[in-house]
Amino acid sequence: MNKQFRLAARPVGLPKASDWKLTEEPVPTPADGEVLVQTEYISLDPAMRGWMNDAKSYVPPVELNAVMRAAAAGKVTASKHPGFAVGDAVEGVLGVQQYAISNGRGLRKVDTKLAPLPAYLGGLGMSGLSAYFGLFEVGQPKPGDTVLVSGAAGAVGSIAGQLAKAHGCRVVGIAGGAEKCAWLRELGFDGTIDYKSEKLSDGFRRELPKGLDVYFDNVGGDTLDAALTRINLHARVIICGAISGYNATEKPKGPSNYLSLLINRARMQGFIVFDYIKKYNETYEVLNKHYAEGKLKLRETIVEGFDTFPDSLLKLFKGENTGKLILKVQVQ
């Protein structure tokens, strides 16, 4: 049988158990041109919270009673598609379910000899692409620039920081807790700010004595507002996400210091990874190369058990993951 998590209701605030419905149906059979994938790892991403809202966005919302949208990785168990064979390791937008049918579009074969399967959902997957395109296409850092990253111990932030470091930048990360900050220093971050144990303004004073040139924002809210007070002339603020507000039930505050963009002739720009689809393949190669050379260190927080999905997703919003948060379908 194929277990699936379906969206039962549009959540208000943090998703509750009753916003989900766990269903079971027979494992489907691929038609001509299709492939059946047994999912082993399911990617848990802050963006999923946005997909649950009935609002115009960069992708349509997940419909009520539909299988929840998610990236996942697994093995091909049946194939009527010339490009895929049984046993192939693959990754794609397969949904929160144990088996998925794919017509091959957007389904990527990955090399589990280079890196373990979960890596292709994280730093060698969509998180890596988001970090790369946000940093280089939008942020355009120059070697020597100071780059600040919020949510720095998260899936995207940890990659963005390492990419900036490899590019010759001075990198400062904001994260919650001493353990996360210690990991960032292992990754090569030049400075860290633990927002749980110090005021951002104190951390900024210590770690950003010459201000910042690029701010990679995953968090929004007060962190973005505070960072705007530290931007240098012609700074670039990359809006990748705003996890602090995704479960807000009231309209979040905007960045009241946005006029710093005027004073400093700076820009704040959003992006969506999908816009760079034509550059995916060349960028996967760059990420794979960095990884093979040890310049890109990956870490996953893996939660076991398909049925834990509703609770496991919430770990993102409680900051309980370090690196990429992944649901492992089977309990070991």
Q: How far is the CB of 13 from a second copy (least distance, A)?
A: 17
Can you give the C-alpha Rg of the chain in angstroms?
20
Minimum CB distance to a second copy smaller for 107 or for 126: 126
Q: How far is the CB of 75 from a second copy (least distance, A)?
A: 34
Minimum CB distance to a second copy smaller for 184 or for 228: 228
Q: Which residues contact 277 (CB under 8 A, 6 or more apart)?
A: none
Q: How far is the CB of 200 from a second copy (least distance, A)?
A: 16
Question: How far is it, in rounded angstroms, from Cα 53 to Cα 76?
Answer: 32
Question: How far is it, in rounded angstroms, from Cα 159 to Cα 288?
Answer: 12
Q: How far is the CB of 257 from a second copy (least distance, A)?
A: 7
Q: How far is the CB of 272 from a second copy (least distance, A)?
A: 6
Question: How far is it, in rounded angstroms, from Cα 19 to Cα 52?
Answer: 10
Question: How far is it, in rounded angstroms, from Cα 325 to Cα 35?
Answer: 26
Question: How far is it, in rounded angstroms, from Cα 59 to Cα 82?
Answer: 29
Q: How far is the CB of 242 from a second copy (least distance, A)?
A: 6
Minimum CB distance to a second copy smaller for 97 or for 218: 218
3-state secondary structure of 40: strand
Q: How far is the CB of 47 from a second copy (least distance, A)?
A: 10
Q: Which residue has the tokens 């158990």?
A: 17
Identity at 281, one-letter amino acid code: N
Beta strands in 136-210 (DSSP E): 146-149, 170-175, 191-194
Minimum CB distance to a second copy smaller for 250 or for 293: 250
CA distances (Å), 247 to each of 53, 214, 288, 317, in order? 10, 27, 34, 8
Minimum CB distance to a second copy smaller for 118 or for 134: 134
Minimum CB distance to a second copy smaller for 22 or for 261: 261
Count of CB atoms situated within 10 Å of the CB of 206: 13
Q: Token pair for residue 179?
A: 């353990």
CA distances (Å), 23 to each of 3, 49, 166, 280, 320, in order? 6, 20, 45, 34, 27
With contact defined as beta carbons under 8 Å apart, do 73 and 93 qualify? no
Enumerate binding residues for a second copy (CB under 8 A).
56-58, 220, 225, 239-242, 245, 251-272, 275
With contact defined as beta carbons under 8 Å apart, do 115 and 124 qualify? yes
Count of CB atoms situated within 10 Å of the CB of 254: 11
Q: How far is the CB of 207 from a second copy (least distance, A)?
A: 20
Minimum CB distance to a second copy smaller for 243 or for 303: 243
Minimum CB distance to a second copy smaller for 56 or for 318: 56
Q: How far is the CB of 55 from a second copy (least distance, A)?
A: 9
Q: How far apart are the first and last CA of the chain?
A: 19
